[in-house]
Structure 1
Amino acid sequence: MKNARILIVEDEAIIAEDLKMAINNIGFNVVGHATNARVAIEKALEFEPDLIIMDIVLKGQMNGIDASYKIHEKRNIPIIFLTAYSDLDLIEKAKTIKPYAYLVKPFQERQLLASIEMALDRKQMEIALQKSEAQKQAILDGSPDMIMLVDLDMHVLWANRTALDMNPDVIGMTCYKAYTNMDKICEGCPCLKTISTGQTRMGVKYQSTLAGIKGESYWENIGVPIKDNEGRLNNIIIIARNITDRKLSEEALRESEEFSTSLLINSPNPIVVINPDTFIRYINPAVEQLTGFSKSELIGRKAPYPWWTEETVQNPGMNNKNIRNRVNRFEQTFRNKNGGQFVVEITSTPVKRSGAVRYYLENWIDITHNQHIE
């Protein structure tokens, strides 16, 4: 990182001048010089340098370590400590600051260059990592799913925004205590299988009560194993998706289909469902009763159908697309399996999806008796 801006904090004038010359020689810029901790703090906040070279031992009430603490409270600026071999006790104390490097006096220019480049490179990597972590956090927090990292005892180590919104105190708690207020892991939890197998497992769970959720709910839970380099299981990622709306919709659809099927089966009128290519996809028991043909004889058949008469076969209007593309009501004479004829009034309704006809629903009414009376 050429042209980096560096603040020097050194109370010995000769060493400070040597530092300044060396820094300029290797292509960096000195933005300021402080001789004590108080001025160092002020200039660090004012100039916001890319790097600070700080002598550990400074004159005054505060040393370089104290100044670094104060600076880090306000700014995340990398610091290289300038030390002497006699400063061993202070060096040990300086470890709590986590300096980017140490430079031992008297220093060589190549050592100075290596320390500066190492500190600046580390800072760039930290910035990139922080950016990456922030992006990952934003993605995870943007998910409507609950996402948590737990240990093998199910204690929550990290949680995304959705999980925290449901229980802000979840960190450190077991997931089952945090959300169900139970003292044992939920029955059927896929994480148990993840722990025993070391593999991703999924399951659907009904919850009568759950923190942050009003009423009953259904959840799709996924346990994802996190392993170390030797393949040992360390943690588990839990992904919990609220599928209540989907389950209720599926249940409503199932009930609707059962109801519709019941109506078709129990309808006294014959009902035939025919694909656009004339393939018979469904008949109800009333069709079998009227025609004498069984379901196995009719399902899958294409026109001409066994109940058609010669007149029906020769009638081109039956397959006219313009006629078949709208609701039609017409009469037809058919024959049953024994050869007897019967007359039906047919209401043919095209059932469409996305503008295309998916099938025709034909409702027959037997009017043979009416025809005989006339």
Structure 2
Amino acid sequence: MPNSKILIVEDEGVIAKDIKNILSFLGYSVIAVASSGEEAIEKAKEMHPDLVLMDIVLEGDMDGVKAAEQIRDSFDIPVIYLTAYSDNTTLQRAKITEPYGYILKPFQERELYTTIEMALYKHQVEKKLKESEEKFRAIFEHATDGMLVVDLETKKFLTGNTMICEMLGYSPEEIKNLKVADIHAQEDLPYVLATFEELARGEYTLAADIPVKRKDGNIFYADINASRISLYEKPCIMGSFRDITERKRMQDSLMESERQLRTLSSSILSAQ
């Protein structure tokens, strides 16, 4: 990605200058060169580079691995290791910091360019995905309907929003220990589980008038809109619960009134 800002962390001046010249030739903007881990962190904080090229062995008390870890955790900046060390111990330490690349010296320009481009692209994709997940979480959490995500295979709840916790009377932690069968009365389970399987197969997306059991044992009725999603790499159903208990009570009351009216009408007609 042309004009991307890169911070070089290298304690050998000649090598740092060579790397800077190569990066400039490739179209990148080298915003600074740091010679120690401590300086690298300060430069990252001050200048916000798009990427850090980090040597592992540096002068001072902090090596490149420790510096990379702090830069990743504090500033979310991708790091590529550029080092002459390839022993297993060094590789294992470096791996823990989740680098976006590992280039051994001496290197080819094409190798450096490809690794940088892949790192920048990967970080950009991850950033967009994170932003998308945060937006989804905000919408999910503040929805006026109760929201539950269910693992299709285990029928266990993976997460729920504030409203579903209020509806059911459980804490968010308790929700994650429940399954579909735990929020429905025993006599309703055959119907509920059959409906769940139909939703899972995508036969329809709305299940109406579903009886739901609260933690205190009381029953409320909900219309449940369902859609298939993937969460934690698992196939899931996300259900939106709308409490229709009051509406159902009014409908049942109206039906009872109509029944009584029909009975009364029949009695009057029979008496004539």
* TM-score bracket for this pair, using the shorter chain length: 0.7 to 0.9
**Alignment partner, residue 156 of structure 2:** 155
TM-score, normalisation: structure 1: 0.60
Partner of 1:187: 189
**SS of corresponding position for 1:187:** helix
SS of the residue 2:173 aligns to: coil
The answer to whether the Cα contact below 8 Å between 1:147 and 1:162 also exists between their aligned partners in 2 is no
CA separation of 1:168/1:74 partners in 2, compared to 1, >3 Å: closer, same or farther?
same
> Which structure is larger by alpha-carbon Rg, 1 or 2?
1
Superposition RMSD in Å:
3.4
2:243: which partner in 1? 242
SS in 1 for 2:151: strand
Aligned to 1:307: none
Q: Secondary structure of the residue that 1:217 maps to in structure 2?
A: strand
Taking a change above 3 Å as real, the CA distance of residues 186 and 237 of structure 1, as seen in their structure-2 partners, is farther
Select the structure that is richer in helix: 2
Residues 43, 197 of structure 1: CA spacing in aligned structure 2 closer, same or farther, 3 A cutoff?
A: closer
Indicate the percent of aligned positions where both proteins have the same amino acid.
Answer: 33
Between 249-258 and 23-32, the greater mean CA deviation after superposition: 249-258
Counterpart residue number, 2:15: 15
Check conservation: 2:229, 2:238, Cα contact below 8 A: no
Match of 2:108 in 1: 108
Matched residue, 1:318: none
Which whole-Å CA distance do the structure 1 matches of 2:5 and 2:228 have between them? 45
Q: 1:218 aligns with which of 213, 216, 221?
A: 221
* Equivalent of residue 173 in structure 2, options 169, 185, 190: 169
Quote the residue 1:25 is aligned against.
25
Q: Secondary structure at the match of 1:169?
A: helix
Q: How does 1:1-374 map to 2 (within 5 A)?
A: 1-143=1-143, 144-150=145-151, 152-164=153-165, 166-170=170-174, 172-175=176-179, 187-188=189-190, 190-191=192-193, 194=196, 199-200=201-202, 202=207, 204-207=209-212, 209-211=213-215, 216-221=219-224, 235-239=235-239, 240-262=241-263, 264-266=265-267, 285=269
In structure 2, runs of 5+ residues without a counterpart are none
Using the TM superposition, give the Cα deviation of residue 27 of structure 1 relative to its aligned residue in structure 2, in angstroms: 1.0
Larger relative contact order, structure 1 or 2 (CA cutoff 8 Å, min sep 6) = 2
Whether the 8 Å CA contact 2:159–2:172 is kept in 1: the answer is no
Question: In structure 2, what is the Cα distance between the partners aligned to 1:197 and 1:219?
Answer: 15
Q: What one-letter code is carried by the residue in structure 1 that aligns with 2:146? A: D
CA distance in 2, matches of 1:160, 1:252: 32
Contact 2:55 2:64 in 1 (8 A): yes
Structure 1, gaps ≥5 residues long = 228-233, 268-284, 290-374
Q: CA deviation at 1:191?
A: 4.2
Q: Is this contact kept in 2: 1:50–1:78, CA < 8 A?
A: yes
Q: Following TM superposition, by how much is the alpha carbon of 1:179 offset from its aligned partner in structure 2, in angstroms?
A: 5.2
SS in structure 1 of the partner of residue 190 of structure 2 = coil
The CA deviation at 1:87 is: 3.9
- Counterpart of 2:179 in structure 1: which amino acid? C
Do the aligned residues in 2 keep the contact of 1:5 with 1:30 (CA within 8 Å)?
yes
Identify if the C-alpha distance between structure 1 residues 95 and 197 changes in structure 2 by more than 3 Å, giving closer, same or farther: same
Q: Deviations over 1:279-318 (max 9, x none)?
A: xxxxxx49xx6xxxxxxxxxxxxxxxxxxxxxxxxxxxxx
> Contact (CA 8 Å) 2:8, 2:54: kept in 1 or not?
yes
The Cα shift of 1:102 comes to 1.4
- Residues 214, 157 of structure 1: CA spacing in aligned structure 2 closer, same or farther, 3 A cutoff? closer
The offset of 1:53, in angstroms, is 0.6
- Cα separation, 1, equivalents of 2:243 and 2:195: 21
Distance in 1 separating the partners of 2:25 and 2:209: 66
TM-score normalised by the chain length of structure 2: 0.79
How many Å separate the matches in 2 of 1:97 and 1:185?
Answer: 53
